[in-house]
Structure 1
Amino acid sequence: MVEKTSASTGANGRAITAERPEDIRNVVLVGHSGSGKTTLVEALAVATGAVPRCGRVEDGTSVSDYDDIEQRQHRSVQLSVVPMAWERYKINLLDTPGYADFVGELRAGLRAADAALFILSAAVGVEGVSGPTSAVWDECARVGMPRAIVITHLDTARADFEEMTETCREILGDGASESVLPLHLPVYGAKASDGHRPVVGLIDLLSQHVYDYSTGEQIETPASPEQLEQLEEARNRLIEGIIAESEDETLMDRYISGEEIDLDTLEADLEKAVARGSFHPVLVAAPPPEGARQGLGTMEILELITRGFPTPAEHPVSATKPSGGAPTPLICDPDAPLAAEVIRTASDPYVGRMSLVRVFSGTLRADDTVHVCGHGPTETTNHDSDERVGAVSAPFGKQQRPLGHAIAGDIACVTKLSKAETGDTLSAKDTPLLIEPWTMPDPLLPVAIAAHSKADEDKLSQSLGRLVAEDPTVRLEQNPDTRQLVLWCLGEAHRDVSLERLRTRFGVQVDVIDHQVALRETFASTATGRGRHVKQSGGHGQYAICEIEVAPLPGGSGIEFVDKVVGGVVPRQFIPSVEKGVRAQAARGVAAGYPLVDVRVTLYDGKAHSVDSSDAAFQTAGALALREAAATARISLVEPIDEVLVVVPDDFVGAVLGDLSGRRGRVLGTEPLGRGGRTAIRAEVPELELSRYAIDLRSLTRGAADFTRRYTRHESMPAQLADGIREKTKANG
């Protein structure tokens, strides 16, 4: 039964509100793609009365996956917030994408939340628990975020509840502790002719009651003798796990001596252990039958969220002054000075820029003037200004429900913040604060783009700026060497969504072109060249002759110009002209059109005319001399080399090492990382071989590995590969 107390239900399009921070719960849903996160959000929305049916709002759209791109691609691509009221609480569920390409949205959800539900599909099994899911679990553990596990898809043919819970205990509980244990056992219905056994209820291990969900409503009954016998071992294990985490040090001794610990004590200790993040209960969920209000496990999940997960006041966040200083903990009090953070930025065709904001302290009100402060990629792009807040609203599917104000601990949408970007801090203008932003993954998949038409070119710059402001995991680069416009993305799906947003949201069509790597040319041997530029056509002519020697230098030397002219055969005022011509030709390349580097050019002879010699003539002669020297020398192509650090599960180390070798990589070393069975591999790999590495590594390791890269130097390319590139360059004109 839903009680309308301090949290309003949001009926008839009204926003769900809470009057006190302790009545708010912010919970992020984490899990692999297809695990059932969005389905669970919709089931909980129906169970609490937030929506009338099947997770749909009044206009028929989903309460979670409502974006046009999500509808077309049938998967979550962005963070969505679904508020709901249960008893006296306001619950903000943050539904995150499960696909690795959208991990930036996941990290935003983790930042806004105070606890996490890990949604794991029993149909997938161990693959859904290991890899990225395990990595996020460890990340939550490092910051002490409370976590619980919800197992879905138990009605599939391969699903095994006992096996799944043991997998969770071994991988997420590190295999050694009893901190990951189920609170319930599933009750199966009659087996169908196809062998399918639906889950129709749950047995509560502590109360020993059975909750029957077969009718779409939770009906409580006592357990049968057969069921009591079935749950005895699991119940004893759960009680021991709770007692092990209890703050009452006498409880274990009393239990060992045979004393029956009362249910209220066990439940209180369980809730405390969950809230401080030392115990992680396993629950079960399934969507409600058609037309029903309650899905399997929805009531139990709501009980856990409201009674076991911490309040916003129990999630400490610190801030500093923009000028620096020691971090100070923020007070989760509506009457304290304002401190909030922009969690996500989006554009609405009618409203303009909208900022999703988590309020950590104070109260955010419509039409207030706030101070915007944040770190940009450089010191010149840092944000430090005052802006007036527009409307404050509560997100609910595609709708924005007027809110008026948002208190400490709540999440809301704000309009008209034209300068605030994701990660920026909003604070009172007379007491500016800065919350350290969370770490975003580095996009490592390059996508070179060009405007499709002149009309697109006119809008491209502004649209790309809006795209990057909305999605901080996209990096925009104007490569000075290749002159290409490059979007750096997290993967193929992220690339496709970014390009579709440009097309559908900003009205800009772009073409994807081949990404070019900044190659260089250099002399592999010493050569000489003579540049002769002599023209006479009446009046002043052009006369310049110079002779040069070109010798290779070590990598990173650049171009060194040496004057060894004697006897004034080239007048002193024209020697800089020769150098200018040489450097201009070097920038254009001498063989395949790539810049020439790492050579010493020595000017040792030449001729001049008292009338017809000029600066322009000697520039041309210098360029001609360099081209002639290149025609007689052996020219090498020089490619950039990146140092790559791959963190990979031990099971995939051999495959990754073999793949790096196939990419002409040189492995510098491997290092075991201890917990989690992961290894760090450090290698040097030519940049030409890394264009698709973000995609290929994910495929090779089933999404369980990640990597970083940094430029180290340029070095000569193998002759056979260089010849192929030259031929391709000639063929393309």
Structure 2
Amino acid sequence: MNKSIRNIGVIAHVDAGKTTTSERILFHTGKNYRIGDVNHGDTTMDFDEQERRRGITINSAATTVFWKGAQINLIDTPGHIDFNIEVNRSLRVLDGAIVVFDGVAGVEPQTETNWRLADRYHVPRIAFVNKLDRIGADFPRVVTMIGERLGVRTAVLQWPIGAEGGFEGVVDLLTQRALTWTSEDVGGNLHEGPVPAHLQGVVQAQRAKLLDAIVEQDDDVLAAFLEGREPTVAQLQACIRKGTLAGAFVPVLAGAAFKNKGVEPLLDAAVAYLPAPGEVAAQAGQPEADPDGPLAALAFKVVSDTSGTMVYVRVYRGRLRPGDVVLNTNTGRRERIARLYEVHANKVEERSVIEAGGIAAVVGLKDTVTGHTLADPAAPLVLETITVPEPVIDVAVEPKTQADQQHLGKALAAMVREDPSLRVRQDAESGQTLLSGMGELQLEVSIEKLRSRHHVEVNVGRPQVAFRETLTRAVEVTHLHKKQSGGPGQYAEVTLQFEPLPRGEGVVFENRTVGGAVPREFVPAVEAGVRRAAQTGVVAGYATEDFRVSLVDGRFHERDSSTVAFELAAAAAFREAAVQAGPVLLEPVMAVEVITPADFVGDVLGDLSRRRGLVRGQDTRGNAAVVDAHVPLKEMFGYIGHLRAMSSGRAQYTMQFDHYAEAPASVLDAVRSR
């Protein structure tokens, strides 16, 4: 295991300063000789034309930098909820994360979503409270929000010197030294000195609180501390590292990345406290990071362009070289590695080998997509895959010309391979091609990609809600499929039990037959028939989900039964059962957060109520009011225009998918009449 490697992601809510922080890291580590600016559209990590034009991160971008002898493989991820798949798959392959918080806004909705993803993948993280030079920045309040809203214990390592326009630097609570930046220019302006006299009291109090939190990580250090002996800085740093990796607490640092204040200590903390590959392998369900072991690697991103396809992989064990033949354990097929590249944003450098702990781009893989495991053919294993969220919004796309018709299918297939949170399907009734995604912005970006990258011109319909259907009652159905038309016939009888499941459970299939009532080779066909039929529900033609189907009995014919017959029987049984099982329409409900001047709170609440919204709470953030609500997605189209109009352009909002809920009769009638 190479203990000098750090695979780190930078994650945050949109506009918290994530890409700016990444750009400063590139400069201070010597990777770049000039600093990119999001506002000027010349950042290294946001290299895509749409990213620069929109001023947001759309694609996760990887690079490698070096800091004080450590190699840092850095991934800058998007902050907008529509591109959450990028954060999801990045966190799956990272060992640690820097979570950037806006010093004014604090913990924002997308930060919470990303934090839960990091919890799922057992990713240790450190918090960086950014933008402390802004009006309204409040470091203690943000630290309190992190503890309360994210449910974690914080270990504050730094205390800010000055606030807002007077922010000068930080006090390192471990060394009790002041780190100040005398100008906003970069390079050579970090100065170390004594703690300012007016901060002596608060620094002593915060340091005592910090020591209480971290000495618990080592019995010997704790015993010495209780006896009144001061631990050394090295001992305290070891305790912080141990607690961070175990998830006992989250170290918190402070700064203002745009003003080049706090970046060097942040890099020091990333190297000191975040794990090397393999250090948290057992907890995260990963193989040990042994470079001499059999290969185990995970594909986590696919990028296609006119020159071909590159697959980003994280090597967990063994080595990967050009020419290697690897087994894709998800498909059972062997693939050959043509070339290996180390990636720096949109530039690549060819490599002859990537060892355990490394991240690289591979050329030559034909059937490998996001979430697939690549392994030594002699030692196959399947790594935990990547969870892909379900889309909640559709748009119809149709080619403008015959030439576009020929290329549209290929272009859409390439885009879905790149971004598995996109879906493409044909509407059964209209025959239209529907592109589905997580939000309007993601679909807008995808349509632009069709035109700019794939050179396919399309007409685009209005965004539509991706409704679902579900069952509300348990039923049992027996269906006999029997057909005789000369020669071999078709015969299959199935008895299926259907019962509703909680939201988000999907479709669960169980085989509960005994005594060979349905031969084993036909059981997968029964499941396939139900799943295929469930794609078109009986209420309004939307996919039916959140139910369990159990195959409890059946009959077969020695000569006339086949997989096709059992699939058809199961599909017909589903359609019969769906009618009897109290089918209902489900609509996606969004978690909406509105930040508005207090003068407009009444208007905002009234408008949300008219949109069938359920207000869950109100809070204050600085001099603004924050309204937290659940609102059906159907009612949120065009909301930004209404919000700006009612608040004189001063309010803003964010929303993300929360859950599916039963739609009222009025919505069902409107859907059926379309």
Cα offsets for 1:534-562 (capped at 9, x unmatched): xxxxxxxxxxxxxxxxxxxxxxxxxxxxx
Specify which of 423, 426, 431 is matched with residue 371 of structure 2. 423
Specify which of 260, 280, 298 is matched with residue 250 of structure 2. 280
Whole-angstrom CA distance in 2 between matches of 1:518 and 1:100: 17
Q: Structure 1 residues 432 and 655, CA, compared in 2 at 3 Å: closer, same or farther?
A: farther
Match for residue 585 of structure 2?
Answer: 642
Match for residue 241 of structure 2?
Answer: 271
- Give the count of matched residue pairs: 530
Indicate conservation of the 8 Å contact 2:88/2:117, yes or no: no
Q: How does 1:302-341 map to 2 (within 5 A)?
A: 302-316=267-281, 330-341=287-298
Q: Structure 1 residues 354 and 102, CA, compared in 2 at 3 Å: closer, same or farther?
A: same
Q: How does 1:132-211 map to 2 (within 5 A)?
A: 132-173=110-151, 179-188=153-162, 197-211=165-179
Q: Structure 1 residues 512 and 704, CA, compared in 2 at 3 Å: closer, same or farther?
A: closer
In the alignment, structure 1 residue 65 sits paired with structure 2 residue 16: no
Whole-angstrom CA distance in 1 between matches of 2:450 and 2:9: 28
- Helix, strand or coil at the partner of 1:346: strand
Q: Match of 2:321, as an amino acid?
A: R
Indicate conservation of the 8 Å contact 1:121/1:152, yes or no: yes
Indicate conservation of the 8 Å contact 1:342/1:424, yes or no: yes
- Helix, strand or coil at the partner of 1:283: strand
Specify which of 424, 434, 437 is matched with residue 476 of structure 1. 424
Q: How does 1:32-431 map to 2 (within 5 A)?
A: 32-55=13-36, 62-123=43-104, 125-126=105-106, 129-173=107-151, 179-188=153-162, 197-215=165-183, 216-217=187-188, 218-243=190-215, 245-248=216-219, 251-252=221-222, 254-256=224-226, 258-287=228-257, 295-316=260-281, 330-350=287-307, 352-374=308-330, 383-431=331-379
Whole-angstrom CA distance in 2 between matches of 1:230 and 1:518: 53
Indicate conservation of the 8 Å contact 2:393/2:464, yes or no: no
- Helix, strand or coil at the partner of 2:332: strand
Whole-angstrom CA distance in 1 between matches of 2:145 and 2:283: 36
Q: How does 1:494-509 map to 2 (within 5 A)?
A: 494-509=442-457
Whole-angstrom CA distance in 2 between matches of 1:282 and 1:518: 40
Indicate conservation of the 8 Å contact 1:642/1:709, yes or no: no
Whole-angstrom CA distance in 2 between matches of 1:142 and 1:458: 42
Indicate conservation of the 8 Å contact 1:21/1:407, yes or no: no
Whole-angstrom CA distance in 1 between matches of 2:416 and 2:384: 20
Match for residue 435 of structure 2?
Answer: 487
- Helix, strand or coil at the partner of 1:21: coil
Whole-angstrom CA distance in 1 between matches of 2:225 and 2:54: 54
Q: Structure 1 residues 165 and 691, CA, compared in 2 at 3 Å: closer, same or farther?
A: closer
Whole-angstrom CA distance in 1 between matches of 2:203 and 2:667: 68
- Helix, strand or coil at the partner of 2:79: coil
Q: Match of 2:11, as an amino acid?
A: V
Whole-angstrom CA distance in 2 between matches of 1:365 and 1:349: 24
Match for residue 636 of structure 1?
Answer: none
Q: Match of 1:357, as an amino acid?
A: V
* Identical positions, percent: 30
Whole-angstrom CA distance in 2 between matches of 1:716 and 1:341: 43
Unaligned runs of 5+ in 1: 1-19, 190-195, 290-294, 320-327, 375-382, 520-593, 596-638, 671-677, 684-688
Indicate conservation of the 8 Å contact 1:344/1:470, yes or no: yes
Alpha-carbon offset, residue 512 of structure 1: 1.0
Q: Match of 2:304, as an amino acid?
A: S
Alpha-carbon offset, residue 483 of structure 1: 1.5
- Helix, strand or coil at the partner of 1:111: helix
Cα offsets for 1:451-493 (capped at 9, x unmatched): 1111111101111100100000101111212312111111111
- Helix, strand or coil at the partner of 1:38: helix
Indicate conservation of the 8 Å contact 1:445/1:693, yes or no: no
Alpha-carbon offset, residue 306 of structure 1: 1.2
Q: Structure 1 residues 445 and 257, CA, compared in 2 at 3 Å: closer, same or farther?
A: same
Alpha-carbon offset, residue 252 of structure 1: 4.8
Whole-angstrom CA distance in 1 between matches of 2:72 and 2:288: 20
Cα offsets for 1:247-274 (capped at 9, x unmatched): 31x6556545544333332222112111
Q: Structure 1 residues 267 and 318, CA, compared in 2 at 3 Å: closer, same or farther?
A: closer
Indicate conservation of the 8 Å contact 2:440/2:463, yes or no: no
Alpha-carbon offset, residue 82 of structure 1: 1.8
Q: Structure 1 residues 491 and 87, CA, compared in 2 at 3 Å: closer, same or farther?
A: same
Whole-angstrom CA distance in 2 between matches of 1:279 and 1:716: 46
Q: Match of 2:371, as an amino acid?
A: G
Cα offsets for 1:190-240 (capped at 9, x unmatched): xxxxxx624322211111111222254322223344443341111111111
Cα offsets for 1:627-671 (capped at 9, x unmatched): xxxxxxxxxxxx98423575859999x999999996799x9xx9x
- Helix, strand or coil at the partner of 1:387: strand
Q: Structure 1 residues 348 and 139, CA, compared in 2 at 3 Å: closer, same or farther?
A: closer
Cα offsets for 1:387-412 (capped at 9, x unmatched): 11121011112211112211111110
Whole-angstrom CA distance in 1 between matches of 2:371 and 2:169: 43
Cα offsets for 1:8-29 (capped at 9, x unmatched): xxxxxxxxxxxx5322101111
Cα offsets for 1:356-415 (capped at 9, x unmatched): 1111111111121111233xxxxxxxx331111121011112211112211111110111
Q: Match of 1:187, as an amino acid?
A: I
Whole-angstrom CA distance in 1 between matches of 2:667 and 2:358: 57
Q: Match of 1:429, as an amino acid?
A: P
Whole-angstrom CA distance in 1 between matches of 2:635 and 2:222: 55
Whole-angstrom CA distance in 2 between matches of 1:142 and 1:246: 23
Q: Which has the larger radius of gyration?
A: 1
Q: Structure 1 residues 260 and 429, CA, compared in 2 at 3 Å: closer, same or farther?
A: closer
